[in-house]
Amino acid sequence: MDELAAFEKAPRQLLQRESALLTRADIVFTGGPSLYEARKGRHPNIHCFASSVDAVHF
């Protein structure tokens, strides 16, 4: 997944909103290992939910 706050047209409040959501959330899932690594110190119950495929199927 992408670091949305790094996008040129990202709202300035994005990081503040993310922090507020992390404070309120009981559990957090990230869309990949890089976001997990970047956020794992900010929430006690965070998990990486990486994308995957069934290799045998393809």
Number of domains in the chain: 1
Q: Give the mean model confidence (pLDDT) for residues 8-34.
A: 93
This prediction's pTM: 0.75
Per the domain annotation, does 10 fall within a domain?
Answer: no
Per the domain annotation, does 16 fall within a domain?
Answer: no
Per the domain annotation, does 9 fall within a domain?
Answer: no
Per the domain annotation, does 33 fall within a domain?
Answer: yes
pLDDT tens digit string along 4-19? 888 888 888 999 999 9
Q: pLDDT at residue 1 above 70?
A: no
Instruction: Give the tokens for residue 55.
Output: 């290799």
Amino acid at 4: L
> Of all residues in the chain, what percent carry a pLDDT higher than 90?
53
Per the domain annotation, does 42 fall within a domain?
Answer: yes
Phi, psi of 46, rounded to the nearest 5 degrees: -115, 140
Instruction: Note the pLDDT of residue 50.
Output: 80
CA distance 40 to 24: 15
Q: Which domain holds residue 35?
A: 26-53
Nearby residues of 52 by Cβ (< 8 Å), 6 or more positions away = none
Instruction: Give the tokens for residue 35.
Output: 């976001």
Nearby residues of 58 by Cβ (< 8 Å), 6 or more positions away = none
Per the domain annotation, does 44 fall within a domain?
Answer: yes
